[in-house]
Structure 1
């Protein structure tokens, strides 16, 4: 026990380093929170506080980090924006009708700077040129669209 009292901060530092290295293999952000507690224990040892206080400070810091810090870090690291690639990124966007669209006549729309062939999502609709539509689905190279209601001035 005398050796530990004389080398307490070095012991805490060794524990923190070992936990930090182990975290690199687990990548679960649990061991790094325990390492943060060990660093606080090391600081308490450097202030020459009693061993019981060092342990309580390390445990309190570890628990606080696990309960308060880890959930938000895990959410940021494991979450992210949904990647929508290809034509699926166009679903939900608005487009301008450049040629009339009917249930039997394929028309054209300007969508995201490109001209696409388009059909109405509801076969009974006729959408005139100049109308604004929303893309509901893409089938092959044809967009299925629905008109957006416009308020008259």
Structure 2
């Protein structure tokens, strides 16, 4: 019976956290789940309460600041192909101004070289300048003046 009460309390606290979004009540929910676990092992009510208090306090002090820092980190979070700009890829199929293939973070991408800037054989490292319709436009890795092109 104690287990069920602790689980209900944990769920209620987690649901309430959805409305506050402070990560405060979520720490108490973790404490209630820990108390439910020790209740399931047959611990007495005072031990269950102690586990609830200790786990809630530890998560408030140790876990919550880390989670808040992670959630409120500065700078925009990139999404989609825009995050690929400036990344380094490896040519897996010869790249020229018409077609080719590169590997970026374990994924294969259709590629072509920047107009008028040659051919890159397999194994070459290239920098992604932009994406155009699912194809990445590349240039030799870290060429002089690359930062001017990316701006």
TM-score normalised over the length of structure 2? 0.51
Distance 1:75 1:12, change over 3 A: same
Q: 3-state DSSP class of the match of 1:12?
A: helix
Q: What corresponds to 1:127 in structure 2?
A: none
- 5+ long unaligned stretches in structure 1: 1-6, 84-109, 116-153
Report 1:58-137 matches (<5 A).
58-81=52-75, 112-113=148-149
Q: What corresponds to 1:92 in structure 2?
A: none
Deviation at 1:53, TM superposition (A): 0.3
**Partner Cα distance (2:28, 2:68) in 1:** 15
Q: What corresponds to 1:40 in structure 2?
A: 34
Q: 3-state DSSP class of the match of 1:112?
A: helix
Instruction: Describe the superposition over 1:27-77 as per-residue Cα deviations: whole angstroms up to 9, x where unpaired.
Output: 000000000000000001100101000000011000000000000100110
Distance 1:62 1:113, change over 3 A: same
Q: What corresponds to 1:101 in structure 2?
A: none
Q: What corresponds to 2:18 in structure 1?
A: 24
**Partner Cα distance (1:114, 1:45) in 2:** 59
TM-score normalised over the length of structure 1? 0.51
Deviation at 1:114, TM superposition (A): 7.8
Flag the structure with larger Rg: 1
Kindly report the root-mean-square deviation, in angstroms, between the aligned alpha carbons of the 2 structures: 2.0
